[in-house]
Amino acid sequence: MKIILGITSKNINIICDKVVFVHVEEDDETHDSGDFKIILIALSKFRSDRMLPIDERFLKKHAYIAQKYYKLKTNFLENSYYYTIIKRGKFKKYPLLDLIYHSCVYADFSEEAIDTIKYYRDNSKTHN
């Protein structure tokens, strides 16, 4: 799956077998109700500079992901994990999240991500 981000059109090639966790958070920066961020945690950088290694600063900002990360690290000590945050896109993020849900069958999804997918499916006229 290929995602093009931002004005500079940077690509992220997502290998769905490598995605381990998907989380959705409300976007505090835009203060727009209904806008959210998609956070992907993966085992690989996907040859992309948009995939960053998980560090302490990231974990302090995202407490829910920190809990999941520590559970993953206790089970799989040798693995390195990377993240990316998809902030822009407004309503295009709903079908993107649904596509990630369909494609990344081995990934774990947070309760917030599943609720967002349900909301999209219940209110979308284009979703079959």
pLDDT tens, residue by residue, 23-50: 999 876 655 556 899 999 999 887 777 7
Q: What is the pLDDT of residue 33?
A: 59
Is residue 5 predicted with pLDDT exceeding 70?
no
Q: What is the pLDDT of residue 128?
A: 55
Q: What is the pLDDT of residue 82?
A: 94
pLDDT tens, residue by residue, 40-86: 999 988 777 778 999 999 999 999 999 999 999 999 889 999 999 98
| 52-53 sheet: strands from edge to edge | 52-53, 82-86, 36-42, 19-26, 108-109
Rounded-to-integer distance, Cα 101 and Cα 106, Å: 10
What residues does each domain of the chain span?
2-123
Nearest in space to 41 (alpha carbons), one of 20, 11, 14: 20
C-alpha distances in angstroms, 39 versus 52, 83, 114, 125, 126? Answer: 12, 7, 13, 26, 24
* pTM, to two decimals: 0.84
